């Protein structure tokens, strides 16, 4: 069993580490509140109630479904000769993509907003872990609704039994599309999901055979998604495919998986996989690594496994156990956990007390920092750790740091952005469904055909929405601190660096930024904050 | 630190680092290791392996498992037609290169390179005990070790360690968003260049205005290309999982330093040269255009690494595969033409690879599942054109678990490129001897 940190060892520094790692960081006041509790109370209060209170869903779910209109459109197009038909189909596809792109932007912004809410941060951080673990990409799934639904599954089941989560994912429509389960049939089982279930989701390479995969793929046949026919009308949320168990698709023959023989189905495969000795090692190591930043060495891993087994694979109490374990705060490894781009962005906004940038800008920033939410690079998810860092990403972190701290100075810093694209993704520039006139002429109404004045107005609106004002530093510093370089340095490093000792290198950068003039102006304070944000130390926790 | 003062790492280390004038801003990691680096910098000057006239290897990764059987196709083969009733290509559409063999119809660019004498096709490339996991098999190709072994270094990384120990980080440049594991080295090297749409930017960048041309942008709205900061951005590869004694913070400090050093070097070289032939607009072709400019601009880089994803064609393969091959073939063909016009074609070998081929028998979803051995391409002026290795037998008795068997170990290809093109001994890099293939004259 894991040992627990004695209350006497609990201090402000550890509370700040926990606040950052368990969620997305926060203000010095939040750290103080945590530090006043015992380690167990602190972990428990961060996790919040075990009972799940779902957030309000994103607005696009209430949009009307386009299925019917699209089908009518395609029928009309099919009656046309080429090239009108081909052109028309391209325009319809482009319209669809534009519409989905707008919904994805809204979805990303919606999720980031949940992360930035202090009371939700911990569950959202775990949801982010699960998104990376059960990586599923919009690139293939092409349905904002199904990705929202999968995200909700993670959120809802995050604190419960690991086995429920794995089973839920195996029956999740987005996953069924992403790893081809939806197309797998008894006569030609598709191995994709079975392979990744073992290799990436539950066991790890080397803990199963090719035969186990082939037989499991047979067992999973029958689990697919229902068609959308019959539910075309109405709202988006009612028009999407859902999980369906279809006996005639299922291979009902006998299979041998992990040495056991029977007429197995998908639930059996999940049960058999999770019963393997490799299963608790795999998930406990991944959770430890995500939260602590470094891999648990063998003796610790064995303790994690024992803890996990004694808790029957319940996630919430397991997180309590690792967050109160002394190893979690090992000082030697304290500079080994690199903040993910999402953690960096949400955390920085929380620390300087500014709202998140507009969804379209937040999405852009995260994409260029290497973590485009809902589009992980592949089924392995994001590698994390030092893989977040290369000179492209570090230069960008520094640039975006200056946007968030000093503002975008009019729009000067945003000059590399494609405002038209952003306006379209934000829904300010709309494309309407292509239409076919009785003469067979195709008309699309998009930005190309928009009234120039109307288009200009939309672009101006977009510019206003993405411009960032300088961070409000009045609430961050007192006038007393502004008189004293030492006091200000202490106060800012407490806020931004969880109170660690300040290395000489950073002290130098900081002093350079501060300049000579006392009391420090708002601009000077921002320069000093930026000196911290644009330092290697700020990128780790 | 002033960027303009930092021309190359060597120069910086020689002139700046020990001089003391800049050392007050140096990250702690560097001040601890500058002695070693300084020694290495001197060594590099003596070895001189990164001269501007040295040979260059360009590696193109086809990520996801390219269907080799529909790339280089056996003609008039009954087993092929039986295994591929819907996906099989008809003999009349195939670009014939010899009586029994042809290329996918989308590969006209490569077919002409073949006829020009600049393309070798190595058939049946793989390794013993093939692994069908994307990640594991990619790792095997990247590390170059037996499929039941593992290694923390990559084969290209070991080339850097062995042959370029004191070179600038930019001895290897990857034009990819994913870090190639093959670059992992004891002393990490390699620079990441994420250029974005180079050609597109040129046409749409208007100084002082934010709105780009609305119509072209709208057309490209779903284009995967992201608009990067001006001039793209540079990244240091990290040698994944091979940090050794370094903490993440040490690594961050070093990366920050490398960012400042490499930025100028690359933008200098790329701005010096122009492409002489038109390149297609795809991201891959634009990356090739950039590589071509860097070569023309005199970068001392020995290894360029590019990748094209999307080859995991489990479902509805026909159109997707055709599009991918066209994107690859057209990009490579423009690249070769540009190099030829520069007079650099003889210095460059392009090598393609994919983590595996695909199952011989097509599946019920109009696609193919993970397979084993597959052909790869070697292109360049020094390459001896022709068909190497053998087309693997498709007869069911000759298959292993439904996949073709390899007859050429991929490390024989690596060894040949290392010895015959890069001019280094392959055994210290590949850790054992491999027979060479006859890919060079």
Is residue B118 assigned to a domain? yes
In a domain, residue B45? The reply is no
* Co-location of A290 and A188 in the same domain: no
A217 and A322 inside one domain:
no
CA angle, residues A205, B155, B292, in degrees to nearest 5: 120
- Cα separation, B81 vs B184, in Å, equals 42
CB-defined contacts A:B, below 8 A? 175
Question: Is B19 part of any domain?
Answer: no
Q: Indicate whether B31 belongs to any domain.
A: no
Residue A203: which of A122, A111, A269 has the closest Cα? A269
Cβ contact, residue pair A386, B248, below 8 Å: yes
Separation of alpha carbons A324 and A39, rounded Å: 6
Q: Which two tokens stand for residue A430?
A: 């709309």
- Partner-chain contact A463 B249, CB within 8 Å: no
DSSP-H helix ranges across B343-434: 410-416, 427-430
Beta strand pairing call for A223-225 and A243-245: antiparallel
Question: Considering chain B, what is the average pLDDT of its residues?
Answer: 78
B181: which residues sit within 8 A by CB, 6+ positions away?
B138, B139, B142, B143, B154, B240
- Domain assignment of residue A445, yes or no: no
**Chain A residues 132-151 with a CB less than 8 Å from chain B:** none
The verdict on A213 and A242 lying in the same domain is yes
Question: Nearest 5°: phi and psi at B175?
Answer: -95, 65
Q: Does a structural domain hold residue A174?
A: yes
Question: A180 and A230: one domain?
Answer: yes
Owner of token pair 């469904």: A433
Number of Cβ within a 10 Å radius of residue A119: 12
Q: Determine the angle formed by the axes of helices B108-115 and B317-342, rounding to 10 degrees.
A: 40
Residue numbers of the domain that contains A534: 473-541
Q: Are B355 and B308 contacting, i.e. CB atoms less than 8 angstroms apart?
A: no
Q: Are strands B374-380 and A243-245 parallel, antiparallel or unpaired?
A: unpaired
Residue A430 touches chain B, beta carbons under 8 Å: no
Whether A257 maps to a domain, the answer reads yes
Does residue B241 come out as left (phi exceeding 0), alpha (psi in the -120 to 50 range) or beta? left
- Structural domain includes residue A428: no
Q: Which of A398, A435, A434 is nearest to A538 (CA)?
A: A398
Question: Which candidate from B133, B218, B258 shows the least CB-CB separation from A195?
Answer: B133
pLDDT computed for residue A446 by the predictor: 66
Which residues have CB under 8 Å from B66's CB, separation 6+?
A: B311, B324, B354, B357, B358, B374
User: For A473-501, what is the HEC assignment?
Assistant: CCCCCCCCHHHCHHHHHHHHHHHHCCCCC
Bridge partners, residue B174, by sequence: B192, B305
Query: Is residue B422 a part of any domain in this protein?
Result: yes
Q: Is B135 on the interface with A (CB under 8 A)?
A: yes
Within a domain: A494: yes
With respect to residue A121, please indicate whether it lies within any of the assigned structural domains.
no
Contacts of B360 (CB under 8 A, 6+ apart): B69, B79, B83, B84, B371, B394, B399, B402, B403, B404
- What pLDDT is attached to residue B9? 43
The set of residues, in sequence order, having a beta carbon less than 8 Å from that of A310 and lying 6+ positions away, is A1
B34 lies in a domain? Answer: no
B221 in contact with A at a CB cutoff of 8 Å? yes
Shared-domain flag, residues A288 and A213: no
| Measured CA distances, B12 to A28, A122, A251, B393 (Å) | 41, 45, 66, 56
Which one, of B439, B149, B130, B141, lies nearest residue B305 by Cα?
B141
- Cβ neighbours of A94 in B, within 8 Å: 221-222
Helix (H, G, I), strand (E, B) or coil at A81: coil
Task: With CB atoms and an 8 Å threshold, state whether A94 touches B238.
Answer: no
Q: How many domains does chain B have?
A: 1
Domains identified in chain A, total number: 3
Q: What is the pLDDT of residue A496?
A: 93
Enclosing domain of residue B356:
53-204+224-430
Of A386, A420, A448, the CB nearest to B243: A386
Find residues 489-508 of chain A whose CB sits inside 8 Å of chain B: 503, 505, 508
Q: Are the beta carbons of A338 and B252 separated by less than 8 Å?
A: yes
Residue A515 lies in a domain: yes
Query: What's the Rg (C-alpha) of chain A?
Result: 26
- A209 and A312 together in one domain: no
**CA nearest A504 in B: which residue?**
B28
Axis-axis angle for helices A39-47, A315-323 (nearest 10): 140
Domain identity same for A270 and A316: no
Kindly state whether residues A203 and A265 are assigned to the same domain. yes
Going by C-alpha positions, the residue among A91, A85, A92 that lies closest to residue A67 is A92
Say yes or no for a CB contact (<8 Å) between B256 and A536: yes
Together in a domain, A259 and A295? no
How close, in Å, is residue A324 to chain B by CA atoms? 23
User: Residue B410, SS3?
Assistant: helix
> Per the domain annotation, does A354 fall within a domain?
no
* A424: chain B residues, CB-CB within 8 Å: 218, 221
Q: Which of A289, A304, A333 is the last residue of a domain?
A: A333
The sign one gets for the Cα dihedral A247, A253, A256, A262 is: positive
Locus of tokens 């779902």: A54
Contacts of B168 in chain A (CB under 8 A): none
Residues A495, A525 within the same domain: yes
Helix locations, B116-247, DSSP H: 134-143, 155-163, 198-204, 214-219
Q: Which of A210, A337, A383 sits opposite B248 (nearest CB)?
A: A337
Give CA–CA dist B248/A514, Å, rounded: 28
Dihedral (Cα; A540, B2, B7, B12), 10-degree rounding: -70
Is residue B32 included in any domain, yes or no? no
Both tokens assigned to A52 = 């799940």
As a whole number of angstroms, the distance between CA B41 and CA B169 comes to 11
Residue A369: phi and psi, rounded to 5, are: -90, 0
Confidence (pTM): 0.71
Residues A536 and A523 in one domain: yes
CATH number of the domain that B377 lies in? 3.40.720
Q: What is the pLDDT of residues B34-84, one digit of tens each?
A: 333 333 443 333 333 445 579 999 999 999 999 999 999 999 999 999 999
* A209, A245, B130 from A257: Cα distances, Å: 9, 21, 21
The alpha-carbon radius of gyration of chain B (Å, integer) is 22
* B48 within a domain of the structure (yes/no): no
pLDDT, residue A102, reads 94
Question: Does A462 lie at the interface with B, CB-CB under 8 angstroms?
Answer: no
Q: pLDDT (tens digit, 0 to 9) for every residue of chain A, 541 residues total?
A: 799 999 999 999 999 999 999 999 999 999 999 999 999 999 999 999 888 999 999 999 988 877 777 777 778 888 887 777 777 777 788 888 889 999 999 999 999 999 999 999 999 999 999 999 999 999 889 999 999 999 999 999 999 999 999 999 999 999 999 999 999 999 999 999 999 999 999 999 999 999 999 999 999 999 999 865 545 456 677 677 899 999 999 999 999 999 999 999 999 999 999 999 999 999 999 999 999 999 999 999 999 999 999 999 999 999 999 999 999 999 888 889 999 999 999 999 999 999 999 999 999 999 989 999 999 988 889 989 988 987 778 888 998 999 999 999 878 888 778 888 899 899 898 777 777 666 666 666 666 667 888 889 999 999 999 999 999 998 889 999 999 888 898 899 889 987 667 778 788 888 888 887 889 999 999 999 999 999 999 999 8
The pLDDT value given to residue B123: 97
How much is the ipTM here?
0.88
Q: What is the pLDDT of residues A22-32, one digit of tens each?
A: 999 999 999 99
Q: Which residue has the tokens 């003039």?
A: A517
Confirm if B354 and B62 have CB atoms less than 8 A apart. Answer: yes
Burial A148-173 (b: 16+ CB within 10 A, else e): bbbbebbbbbbbbbbbbbbbbbbbbb
How many whole angstroms separate alpha carbon B44 and alpha carbon B23? 23
Subunit contact A505:B233, Cβ cutoff 8 A:
no
């Amino acid at each position: 069993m894991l040992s627990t940190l004695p209350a006497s060892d609990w201090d402000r520094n550890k509370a700040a580490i926990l606040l950052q790692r368990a969620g997305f960081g926060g203000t010095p006041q939040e750290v103080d509140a945590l530090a006043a509790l015992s380690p167990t109370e602190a972990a428990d209060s961060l996790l919040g109630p075990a009972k799940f209170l779902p957030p309000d869903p994103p607005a696009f779910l209430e949009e009307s479904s386009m299925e019917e209109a699209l089908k009518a459109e395609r029928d009309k197009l099919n009656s046309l000769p080429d090239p009108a038909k081909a052109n028309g189909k391209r325009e319809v596809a482009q319209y669809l993509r534009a519409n989905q792109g707008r919904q994805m932007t809204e979805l990303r912004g919606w999720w980031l907003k949940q992360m930035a809410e202090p009371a939700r941060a911990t569950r959202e951080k775990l949801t982010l872990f699960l998104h990376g673990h059960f990586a599923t990409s919009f690139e293939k799934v092409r349905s904002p609704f199904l990705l929202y639904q999968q995200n909700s599954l993670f959120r809802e089941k995050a604190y419960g039994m690991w086995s429920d989560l794995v089973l839920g994912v195996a029956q999740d429509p987005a996953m069924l599309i992403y790893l081809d389960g939806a197309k797998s049939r008894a006569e030609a089982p598709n191995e994709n999901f079975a392979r990744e279930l073992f290799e990436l989701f539950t066991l790890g390479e080397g803990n199963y055979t090719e035969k186990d995969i082939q037989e499991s793929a047979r067992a999973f046949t029958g689990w697919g998604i229902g068609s959308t026919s019959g539910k075309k009308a109405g709202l988006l949320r009612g028009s999407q495919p859902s999980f369906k168990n279809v006996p005639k698709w299922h291979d009902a023959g006998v299979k041998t998986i992990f040495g056991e023989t029977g007429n197995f189905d998908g639930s059996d495969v999940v049960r058999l996989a999770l019963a393997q000795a490799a299963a608790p090692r795999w998930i406990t190591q991944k959770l430890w690594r995500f939260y602590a930043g470094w891999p648990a060495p063998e003796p610790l891993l064995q303790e994690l496994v024992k803890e996990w087994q004694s808790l029957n694979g319940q996630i919430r109490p397991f997180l309590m156990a690792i967050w109160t374990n002394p190893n979690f705060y090992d000082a030697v490894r304290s500079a080994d956990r690199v903040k993910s781009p999402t953690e960096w962005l949400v955390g920085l906004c929380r620390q300087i007390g500014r709202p998140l940038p507009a969804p379209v800008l937040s999405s852009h920033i995260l994409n260029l920092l290497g973590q485009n939410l809902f589009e992980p690079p592949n089924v392995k998810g994001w590698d994390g750790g030092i893989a977040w860092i290369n000179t492209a990403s570090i230069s960008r972190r520094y640039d975006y740091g200056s946007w968030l701290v000093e503002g975008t100075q009019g729009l000067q810093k945003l000059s590399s952005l494609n405002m038209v694209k952003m306006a379209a993704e934000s829904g300010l520039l709309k494309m309407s469904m292509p239409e076919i006139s009785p003469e067979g002429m195709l008309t699309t109404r998009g930005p190309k055909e928009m009234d120039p004045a109307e288009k200009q107005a939309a672009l101006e609106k977009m510019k206003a929405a993405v411009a960032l004002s300088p961070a409000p530093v009045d609430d961050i510093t007192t006038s007393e601190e502004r008189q004293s370089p030492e006091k200000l340095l202490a106060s800012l490093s407490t806020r931004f660096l969880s109170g660690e000792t300040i290395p000489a290198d950073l002290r130098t950068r900081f002093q350079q930024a501060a300049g000579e003039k006392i009391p420090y102006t708002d601009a000077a304070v921002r320069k000093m904050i930026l000196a911290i944000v644009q330092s290697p130390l700020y990128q780790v926790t | 630190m002033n960027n303009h003062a930092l021309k190359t790492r060597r120069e910086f280390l020689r002139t700046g680092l020990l001089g003391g004038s800049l050392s007050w801003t140096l990250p702690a990691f560097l001040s601890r290791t500058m002695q070693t680096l300084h020694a290495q910098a001197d060594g590099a000057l003596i070895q001189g392996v990164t001269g501007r006239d040295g040979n260059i290897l360009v590696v193109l990764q086809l990520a996801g498992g390219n269907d080799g059987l529909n790339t280089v196709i056996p003609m008039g083969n009954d087993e092929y037609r039986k295994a591929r009733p819907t996906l099989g290509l008809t003999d009349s559409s195939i670009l014939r290169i010899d009586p029994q063999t042809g290329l996918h119809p989308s590969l006209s660019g490569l077919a002409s390179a073949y006829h020009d004498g600049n393309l070798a096709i190595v058939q049946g490339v793989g390794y013993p005990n093939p692994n069908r996991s994307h990640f594991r098999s990619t790792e095997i190709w990247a590390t170059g070790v037996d499929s039941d072994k593992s290694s923390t270094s990559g084969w290209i990384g070991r080339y850097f360690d062995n042959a370029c120990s004191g070179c600038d980080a930019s001895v290897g440049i990857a034009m990819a968003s994913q870090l190639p594991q093959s670059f992992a080295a004891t002393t990490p090297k390699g620079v990441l260049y994420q250029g974005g749409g180079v050609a597109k930017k040129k046409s749409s960048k208007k100084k002082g205005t934010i709105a780009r041309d609305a119509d072209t942008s709208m057309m490209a709205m779903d284009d995967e290309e992201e608009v990067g900061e001006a001039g793209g951005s540079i990244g240091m590869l990290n040698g994944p999982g091979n940090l050794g004694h370094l903490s993440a913070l040490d690594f961050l400090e070093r990366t920050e330093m490398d960012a400042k050093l490499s930025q100028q070097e690359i933008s200098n070289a790329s701005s010096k040269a122009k492409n002489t032939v038109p390149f297609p607009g795809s991201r891959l072709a634009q990356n090739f255009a950039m590589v071509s400019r860097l070569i023309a601009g005199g970068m001392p880089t020995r290894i360029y690494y590019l990748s094209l994803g999307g080859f995991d064609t489990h479902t509805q393969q026909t159109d997707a595969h055709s599009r991918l091959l066209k994107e690859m073939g057209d990009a490579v063909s423009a690249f070769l033409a540009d190099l030829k016009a520069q007079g650099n074609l003889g210095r460059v070998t392009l090598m393609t690879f994919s983590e595996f081929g695909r199952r011989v028998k097509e599946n019920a979803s109009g696609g193919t599942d993970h397979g084993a051995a597959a052909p790869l391409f070697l292109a360049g002026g020094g390459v001896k054109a022709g068909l190497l290795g053998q087309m693997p037998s498709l007869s069911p008795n000759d298959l292993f678990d439904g996949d073709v068997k390899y007859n050429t170990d991929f490390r024989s290809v690596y060894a040949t490129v290392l010895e015959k093109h890069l001019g280094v001994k392959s055994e210290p890099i590949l850790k054992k001897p491999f027979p060479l293939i006859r890919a060079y004259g």
